[in-house]
């Protein structure tokens, strides 16, 4: 898809991070911008900014884990703008710690947002886009789902998050192949960022009341601190990643990476799989980090 002006973008998680930066670029390119976020105050501020850039904006509070919310968003989009051309299933939350320490509420919350949020977006918007393509030979559409490098790797102390993002990669790869079976007018990509400052480390602020957080374990506190440190040293911004998304759409490129150098670890993991060898130490290249984590987790309480 190379034409953006006058077309419509639907962006979840639009109140901050990748979603807000992508909304800015969409507005600058002359798109109608549909902004969805679970945090009402952040969404209101973001929508006002995007309207200030001259875009036609539809802002709607949406909990992407709830099918009815996403279905209502789809109905509102169709009524206001018709079928969208760019759908960015981007909303996500983070959670860490040793995998057996995640509570049932942790699992339900992360899977609900990170997996089912994408699934609902695909389920609601893809049929709308296919119907538009069937009616108009010039229609073009593209769906981008936000996963993570954690969807291609399995870093320790991040289990529930890894599981959710692997599912998004699998869903997206299948979506790409399924679309190829039925149309040449709609394509798909998966975004796999590494450590980029987006606010995801503060996901707990939007945790629903029916999924209360337990007192954080030592592993969860350690994981959060290490993640924030890694993000703080990052040189790639959310704005950079948003530009990568538009570049990939224009080039019809499926995999979108913020840190291509991390692909060396992906290759090592795939070689582990193919050669049926035990998983390689993820800290082999930076043993001091692995030593720090092991020492922290094995220290007496």
Residue-level length of the chain: 301
| Three-class SS state of 40 | helix
When computed from its CA atoms, the radius of gyration of the chain, rounded to whole angstroms, is: 19
Q: 161 an active-site residue? A: yes
- Burial 87-110, CB ≥16 within 10 A → b, else e: bbbbbbbbbbbbbebbbeebbebb
Catalytic residue among 139, 161, 176, 257: 161
Distance, CA of 60 to CA of 95 (rounded, Å) = 25
54: alpha, beta or left, given left = phi > 0 and alpha = psi -120 to 50? left
Percent helix, strand, coil in the chain (nearest 5)?
A: 55, 15, 35
Catalytic residues: 161
């Amino acid at each position: 898809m190379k034409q953006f002006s006058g077309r419509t973008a639907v962006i979840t998680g639009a109140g901050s991070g990748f979603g807000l930066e992508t909304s800015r670029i969409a507005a600058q390119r002359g798109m109608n911008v549909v902004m969805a976020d679970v945090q009402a105050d952040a969404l209101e501020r973001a929508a006002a900014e995007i309207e200030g850039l001259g875009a036609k904006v539809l802002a709607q509070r949406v909990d992407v884990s709830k099918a009815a919310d996403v279905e209502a968003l789809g109905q509102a989009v169709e009524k206001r703008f018709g079928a969208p051309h760019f759908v960015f299933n981007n909303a996500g939350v983070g959670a860490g710690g040793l995998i057996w320490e995640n509570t049932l509420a942790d699992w339900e919350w992360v899977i609900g947002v990170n997996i089912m949020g994408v699934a609902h977006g695909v389920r609601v918007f893809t049929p709308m886009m296919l119907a538009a393509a069937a009616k108009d030979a010039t229609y073009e559409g593209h769906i981008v789902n936000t996963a993570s490098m954690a969807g291609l790797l399995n870093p320790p102390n991040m289990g529930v998050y890894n599981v959710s993002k692997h599912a998004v990669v699998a869903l997206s790869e299948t979506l790409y192949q399924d679309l190829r079976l039925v149309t040449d007018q709609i394509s798909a990509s998966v975004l796999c960022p590494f450590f980029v400052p987006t606010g995801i480390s503060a996901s707990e602020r939007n945790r629903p009341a029916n999924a209360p957080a337990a007192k954080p374990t030592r592993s969860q506190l350690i994981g959060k601190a290490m993640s924030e440190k890694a993000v703080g040293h990052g040189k790639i911004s959310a704005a950079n990643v948003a530009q990568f998304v538009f570049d990939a759409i224009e080039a019809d490129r499926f995999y979108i990476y913020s840190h291509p150098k991390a692909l060396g670890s992906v290759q090592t993991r795939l070689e582990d799989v193919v050669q049926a060898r035990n998983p390689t130490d993820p800290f082999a290249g930076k043993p001091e980090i692995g030593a720090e984590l092991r020492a922290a987790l094995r220290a007496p309480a």
